[in-house]
Amino acid sequence: MKLTPFELAELRAMNLFGNLAEMSAIQKLLKMSDDCKMAFGDMNLPRSVRSAAVADARAINDIFQTMGNTREQAGISC
């Protein structure tokens, strides 16, 4: 199926906005990951808080893994 120039532009715009949204999510996840690392290393915090930070960090890593797998299936890898 051949796309019209307008349809192609629309597809490219949607792809751009999707990538921008994904980049924003990645930045937020990186910040959360840094916060988890700091919380885990802070021995003044209760053990339950530090344990929750480890669990959150693992969940964030799972999200990154899923994002990477999705990109790889789309043919994007580094």
Query: Is residue 64, in this structure, part of any structural domain at all?
Result: yes
The answer to whether the Cα torsion of 4, 77, 23, 53 is positive or negative is: positive
Cα separation, 75 vs 69, in Å, equals: 10
Domain of 42 in residue numbering reads as 5-71
Q: Do residues 31 and 55 touch, judged by C-beta distance below 8 A? A: no
Residue 19 domain-assigned?
A: yes
Report the C-alpha gap between 35 and 70 in whole angstroms. Answer: 26
The answer to the question of residue 56 being in a domain is yes
In a domain, 78, yes or no: no
Q: Which pLDDT tens digit goes with each residue over 21-77?
A: 999 999 999 999 999 999 999 999 999 999 999 999 999 999 999 999 988 988 887
pLDDT for 20 beyond 90: yes
> Structurally, how many domains does the chain consist of?
1
**What integer pLDDT is reported at residue 75 of this predicted model?**
85
The pTM of the full predicted model, rounded to 2 decimals, is 0.77
Closest by CA to 28, choosing from 77, 75, 67, is 67
Count, residues in the chain: 78
